[in-house]
A and B are shown apart, each in its own frame.
Chain A
Amino acid sequence: MIERLRTALREFGLPRLLIAAFLFILFAVAVATHMNLSGLVSDCITRVARNGILVLALLPAIQGGLGLNFGLPVGIVCGLVGCVISLNAGVSGVTGLVLAAGIGVALAIPAGLAYGWLLNRTRGQEMMVGTYLGFAIVSGMSIFWLLAPFQNPTLVWAIGGKGLRTTLALTGIYDKILDHWLSFTVAGVTFPTGALVAFGGLCWLTWLFFRTRMGITIAAARSNPRFALAAGISDERTRIQATVLSTTLGALGIIVYSQSFGFVQLYTAPLLMAFPAVACILIGGATVTRSTIGHVIVGTLLFQSILTVALPVTSQVIEGDISETARLIIQNGMILYALTRLRNT
């Protein structure tokens, strides 16, 4: 009996248990202090839908044997370029969003190919290379945002008329267009149906993908490169395929994120975006070498809920704000924990 409990605990993972317990305590305090519980739950769901695709973007990279894709900003900036181009053209509504997504994906594919090529040349250090490439690309794009010939006066700095602003409001263009689509409220809890459908749909498509010929070979090459070679699979190719998929999902992820957030954030905003996403998938139970759609969903739910609930709850109990501190401890602690387990997998 005790043995079975122990195995169950090991399978669920101690860190996940602690985080779930922490979340439970936060909710308990929220109830005890008579906070607006339905509002909190609404916020949680909104943030899950907002961040989910960025977390999902990490899955193909893990399945492809590239570890945690700290180079997620490569995909993110592609999505941002898509947004800015569609905004500059003044296309709004669904058409604008689709245009942004189309351009984002069109850019993410070649970017993913190049990123994958780079990772094949730096085998064994994918995570470090990804981190540095992410930093480099965000800085490089900062120059691009300043110099690119965008003319639309709503986008560029009011004084001087050159260079994009750091934050572009989407109000009246496609602000929350997915979140509001078919949105409904039950018992005070609002569901951002469109964004949830986008997240769920992409999860389903990714799940399907890993059941196709290409998906199976990607996972097989990750699982055993020598086996793959013997089966006539080039693992350099499958690694590039995985990188392209991850980068493309990153581009789509930031577009869904931006419409839900209501702003397109440029310059250094994408710099650290990979880290919370990585923490999410790890809290969900993924390891550096193996993950599933379930890990993506559970992890996003746990981590984003904590972020949402911790701020209002802790400010009720303690003077001052510790939610940012808690976020950093959980986020980076989780990444560290996953890396310590790397050798055992």
Chain B
Amino acid sequence: MENIILKTENLKKYFPIKKTFLKRRANCVKAVDGVDLELKEGGILGIVGESGSGKTTLAKTILGIYRPSEGEVYFKGDKISNLPPNRMKAIRREIQYVYQNPGASFDPWWRVGRSLEEPLKIHQTLPEQGMKKKVKDVLKSVGLEEDHIFRYPHEFSGGQQRRLALARILVLSPSLIIFDEPTSGLDVSIQATILKLLKKLRNDFGLTYIFISHDLEVVRLMSDKIAVMYLGTIVEYGNTEAVFMNPKHSYTQLLLAALPKIKDQYIEKDILIQGEVPDPVNLPSGCRFWPRCPMASEICSNKSPALETIEDGRKISCHQI
């Protein structure tokens, strides 16, 4: 059975720039600009891109934290974009979001147990007595001890804080979890432990993940589908292994070349991506990547390429293919 759990259609999110007195016609930042995605139940979708490519905005728009400027989000077949808040609450239980810095998302004055019970109280999914048991069960499944509920957040290490953040989400038994840079700022050894745990949890609870990261290696390990984002649009989409073995879009190629690898010592003439992500207010005309693209020709600056299927399950937006 391959059920589509999440689908976005031409999803857009523009942020208007404040109007000034004399300059009435305000500009806007096109943070997410026409994203189509489909995610199967039990799948793991990786979203990669540089900072400023709109990864986090996309996640927040899917969650309904931001209202989409255009386009729709479907969850388990139902349209969830622009739902009234009371109906959104039930959806929010099923789609959960893990913040970049889990330590900062806990109340420093609350014992961990209280923080972990709070989502249960809000959503009223369990009777009072069941809550304590549920919290303890979940703590065990993320590799923490039962009596950790009496501690304060600062008493935990960075890796443990990530486990706590996971526990707080898992008490609600969600079906889709969006991770925003789940391992940034962690040591490689702790990163490996957390990734192992995430894989185990997915198998145990039958979860679906969206994995946002700028670390391509991590995304490669975790996901089965990958979407490469650049300035609010998806430039390449496909099966993770296929994209990594044979990247088609020149942005993906350059992104992969930039990865530090053990083998290439002392290479000083390797191809590097030039410059930085341009200002999202004044986007380049045509294809957004052309000012940094080594393969750019005239058509690239005139016409923006559409995301087209080039082979089975592989989509790419580039004129040079």
B and A form one assembly = no
Q: Interface of B with A (CB < 8 Å)?
A: none
